Amino acid sequence: MKDIINAINHWIQVLPKEYNSMSETEISNRPLPNKWSKKEILGHLCDSAINNIVRFVKIQYSEQPYVIQSYNQEQWVAVQNYQGRPLGEILTLFQNLNKQVINIIMNIPAEKLTYLCDTGNTQQTLQWLIQDYIAHMEHHINKQILIKGHD
């Protein structure tokens, strides 16, 4: 878990610098009408944190396997209007939500990392879900945010 905490802390520090080095056009441009802008991708990462905070907490005390509730990612991004919000607000939200994720991870007793959750396709452990959280985050950061002109 220490590696995951370090990775999240890394992005809490680095991502604002990366975004602040980009032009407004670069962060707001949608490469295609049905694709998110870099600003909306950051909002999506906030939504992921919100949903996973709930999961990481509930798995620890709910009957196993805890059934993961999916969410409509497109609607979450649209309804919260990340595209129309100031970048600074979204960056602060990203940082604060991920500080909370770290707080939760740091306080999970080791034996609870083996607790099971039902993802809809399979059963996985809480530890797997936490690893998947950072893998998902880094996928979006490395494949869409940090490259010039994402698709």
Model pLDDT, residue 54: 98
Residue 40 has pLDDT above 80, yes or no: yes
Residue 87 has pLDDT above 90, yes or no: yes
Q: Alpha-carbon distance 120 to 144, whole Å?
A: 27
In the chain the domains, ranked by start, together with CATH numbers, are 2-145 (1.20.120.450)
- DSSP letter, residue 144: I
Which two structure tokens, joined as six digits, stand for 69?
Answer: 């509730």
Q: How confident is the model at residue 147 (pLDDT cuts 50, 70, 90)?
A: confident
The DSSP annotation for 59-74 comes to TTTSPSSEEPPP--HH
Number of H helices, E strands in the chain: 6, 3
Residue 150 has pLDDT above 70, yes or no: no
Q: Alpha-carbon distance 99 to 93, whole Å?
A: 10
Which amino acid, one-letter code, is at 10? Answer: H
Q: Alpha-carbon distance 111 to 48, whole Å?
A: 25
Model pLDDT, residue 22: 97
Model pLDDT, residue 20: 97
Reduce the DSSP state of residue 118 to 3 states and report it. Answer: strand
